[in-house]
Homo-oligomer: A and B are copies of this chain.
């Protein structure tokens, strides 16, 4: 997706150790039109698989997942990391290490909204190591629902998350793929 690739190259910042800062248009501050276009593009790549729910993890997954769900016309669920008092038992729980926060996080979904009939498209901002997305796929499995695909805005190919997720045998789509980040330079895959 050219519009997103251009923004990543122009405004993304390599903070070292594989960390890409995109706080000006994806995280912290969001460009809503860019996010809408990204959601429309992800929706177009998965619509033929007829997802009935989009699933993401709070916090930074919410915007791309909402934009995708809006384009698909299906509800979006965001897995909670802390349990609000409105979330009643039973709760589906998985855990994943957080890359950007340096600790283990829980991901919780209420089976009220994720049931066995659901055809689930997972959407997130980043595919890096794949550990968060892998935890989301386990939540889908716990619910007895069907995973139909995984879509992300930006893949950091050098962190090999795609390999970790390939055993799931569902399509994985990234709108922009970063091959490497070297000395402050962001190098996209062709």
A interface residues with partner B (beta carbon < 8 Å): 15, 19, 21-25, 27-33, 35-36, 58-59, 62-63, 66-67, 69-70, 73-78, 80, 82, 84-87, 100-102, 109-110, 112-113
* A interface, over-half SS: loop
Per the bound structure, the CA–CA distance linking A32 and B65 in Å amounts to 10
| A74 partner residues in chain B, CB cutoff 8 A | 32
| A73 partner residues in chain B, CB cutoff 8 A | 32-33
Q: Check B84 against A27 for contact (C-beta < 8 Å).
A: yes
Q: Check B24 against A66 for contact (C-beta < 8 Å).
A: no
A143 → chain B closest CB, angstroms: 13
Contact of A113 among B28, B35, B84 (CB under 8 A): B28
Per the bound structure, the CA–CA distance linking A130 and B96 in Å amounts to 34
Assess A23 versus B82: contact at CB under 8 Å? Given A69-B32, A76-B29: no
Beta-carbon nearest neighbor of A17 in chain B: B85
